[in-house]
Structure 1
């Protein structure tokens, strides 16, 4: 009992209050994330759209998400984390209801596009706010806790969505909108702005440093990491598009696919909180390389699966890789993001997921059609191996870049994270050491290393 209590304290203790408000908002939002789970079924069975039309709607959702992450990252740095989050959540809740009431194809397509834009615009602001309020030493377990909440909420949502759909599909949209609005209310009442102004001009509402896009495009270390994440995501997202098709060709029902894929969420909920202690102090490059290999092996074994239990084993294997990958990815992106450009760096990283979401089904379908099912899954294994080697090769340069940013940037002390009354908080913010602006270009000493 004492050991369990100590583990619980090590896992959850000492994190700022704002983190727990954000964590609660994540859990509530994900508990109601019904629409994306059932959207394809709703469009084809309930609304009578063809598979091509449903694919168009889902594709526009992805296009909107790509735009949302880009715009959201810019607004996060220029406008602030809190107003960006509030606008994104309120817009998403509104568009969720609008999509539920939309009838013509053009209205459904437009609603999906705008919903994707608003929903994904929140991602960079949320990531930047988490980095703002959680000290570097606690970020690994903080991101693991947040990832655990995402999967707990999603696992419950998949079950609740099935029950809600029996009542009526409009209920899916209404509940999803309500939980999104609830998250906005938590942010409005309990979470203040966490961005710290870097200069006097910025404190007066001035723009973020000029040349932000130039800085990102010149940051080859960061962009290399984004590209590696893109390839990993292309493999990982095959479980949404090609895995159900493969299981169907094996004579397994959609219900069986649902049960098998549920193992992903169950394993993450059961084991994710133990991951920080497992990987603490280990080389992140080695952890990311191992994660890529494990995911590659899991997806590669799908080439030989024919029965439900075999498919279940493959899901459990690649889920272990996902569990290792997620917290290491999140902490590394936090350390590679210059403080004044955190929103845009978060947005650029999120963009890799949006691109993968739009292209993974197309590429997977083309490979299956041209070369066969086995080639697709064995190709996923090969990509995982190549990504692992790339992580080992590029890892030292990433760590040098993270060290350089740590030594040239004073730690953030957002007033809202101090839990002080307004006058004392204002004084603390005014007396906190100034945070230097990043150079408009990365240091020549660290470029390309």
Structure 2
């Protein structure tokens, strides 16, 4: 008689929970970027377009941060890179809050982007070093912790912002120091030993990797769509007569829904086709942020946030594990850095595109462009599905991903070999 046991879900190592603590602490105290447009327009007196450009400067620094963080993660280790990022963030965020001239604000904004995101590719590489069966849960835990912190940050920061924005910068700096202490005490090094990791150059490998390039470009467009809402939503709500506290409360719904729903999403989506989940999620984000551009009431804004948050959850469940499955073992840190750079590119392009479109074409045009972009992203991600399935299967079985270009119906060409 054979007894069939239910599959046991592998326990996550302490590394994941330590990384989750850093994500929570840094995000709970890191509300400056979410309120940066309001700080620049209301306290520094900048125009919305100039404020959007300053937010984009943070994105410029972030692009360099992701690439640098991935490179450092492979060279000096994941742990040291995260420490450098959090301590550098402390200095940069204080400099931004102290800057009172436009050139100083620009320079500090770039520095904030360069330092704030340095830990992301290193932390992602540490998770990518785990066995494939643990990755989706591990990335899900990090995303959950980040958004629990985000919920705390938006509610408390919205209340504090009514009395001035200066305190937000100091809280952000203290949180970065606290995150560095957690890394120092609790995060071990996971970088594979050099003798087991043949040295590979990123650029020659990357330029031949058409799937990786296509996935990164697609996600640059997605993050541009998604992140423009953090520059346009506060402007839209301010124009409708809503104050910072109301904006903070509506934005907090994003984090609350993620905290409540993301663990369930990992269970529901963990066994699904990643490309399909990503495609549908991008479509939902396009619909949600498009609706948010034209609704006026708080209830309507909350509904739009709910829709794009559900799409955001789907992206987050699959994003890290999908790119980890694409990456060669010797280039995990750098591949995760390039993947994370898509987020930073969107953080640069989104505020610029969103504020320019809002100011010069109006809210209806912004809504239409967002909806059409979501549809185009859905089609593009679906088109990449067969190649993505072939590559992932090849990596899991430690086989070269040959003939992936000729895959039909999502089935690896070597399946019957």
TM-score (norm 1): 0.81
Distance 1:122 1:378, change over 3 A: same
Report what 1:428 is aligned to: none
What is the match of residue 331 of structure 1?
321
Please tell me whether residue 32 in structure 1 is matched to residue 53 in structure 2. Answer: no
| Distance in 1, Cα, partners of 2:94 & 2:361 | 42
Instruction: Find the counterpart in structure 2 of residue 314 from structure 1.
Output: 304
The within-5 A match list for 1:213-292 is 213-292=203-282
Residue in 1 aligned with 2:102?
105
Does the Cα contact within 8 Å between 1:93 and 1:178 map onto a contact in 2? yes
Which whole-Å CA distance do the structure 2 matches of 1:280 and 1:113 have between them? 36
Aligned to 1:186: 182
Confirm or deny that 1:172 pairs with 2:193. no
How far 1:16 sits from its partner (Å)?
Answer: 0.3
Which residue of structure 2 lines up, in the alignment, with residue 429 of structure 1?
none
SS in 1 for 2:384: helix
Name 1:412's counterpart in structure 2.
none
Does structure 2 retain, via aligned residues, the 8 Å contact 1:70–1:344? yes
Distance 2:46 2:293 in 1: 31
Q: CA deviation at 1:51?
A: 4.5
Check the 8 A contact 2:62/2:117 in 1, yes or no.
Answer: yes
For structure 1, the 5+ residue unaligned runs are: 1-5, 203-207, 410-441
Alignment pair present for 1:140 and 2:136: yes
The CA deviation at 1:38 is 3.0
Structure with max Cα Rg: 1
What is the match of residue 368 of structure 2?
378
Q: Is 2:351 aligned against 1:351? A: no
What is the deviation of 1:56? Answer: 4.3
TM superposition shift of 1:215: 0.7
Q: 1:140 to 1:33 in 2, by over 3 A?
A: same
Cα deviation for residue 370 of structure 1 reads 5.2
- Mapped pair 1:130 → 2:127: yes
**2:33 counterpart SS class:** helix
| Number of the residue aligned with 1:154 | 150
Give the Cα separation in 2 of the matches to 1:302 and 1:45: 22
Quote the residue 2:82 is aligned against. 85
* CA distance in structure 2 between the partners assigned to 1:121 and 1:223 by the alignment: 21
Q: Write the distance in 2 (CA, Å) between the matches of 1:362 and 1:163.
A: 27
Instruction: Identify the range of structure 1 (275-284 vs 101-110) with the bigger mean alpha-carbon deviation.
Output: 101-110
1:62 to 48, 59, 62: 59
What is the TM-score normalised by the length of structure 2? 0.87
Q: Once the two structures are superposed, what CA deviation does each residue of 1:249-277 show, in whole Å capped at 9, x if it has no partner? A: 44544543333222211211111111111
Change (3 A) 1:47 1:337: same
Do the aligned partners of 2:56 and 2:352 also contact (CA within 8 Å) in 1? no
Mapped partners of 2:324, 2:388: distance in 1: 12
Q: Does 1:393 align with 2:383?
A: yes
User: In the alignment, what sits opposite 1:298?
Assistant: 288
CA distance, structure 1, for counterparts of residue 99 and residue 238 of structure 2: 31
Question: Relative to structure 1, is the Cα distance of residues 196 and 54 closer, same or farther in structure 2, using a 3 angstrom cutoff?
Answer: same
For the residues of structure 2 that align with 1:38 and 1:221, how far apart are their CA atoms?
Answer: 36
d(CA) in 2 for partners of 1:372 and 1:265? 28
Query: 1:282 is paired with a residue of what secondary structure?
Result: coil
Equivalent residue for 1:46? 43
Residues 210, 266 of structure 1: alpha-carbon distance in 2 compared, 3 angstrom cutoff: closer
CA distance in 1, matches of 2:320, 2:331: 16
Change in Cα spacing, 1:62 to 1:271, as seen in structure 2 (3 Å) is same
Residues 128 and 324 in structure 2, CA contact (< 8 A), matched pair in contact too:
yes
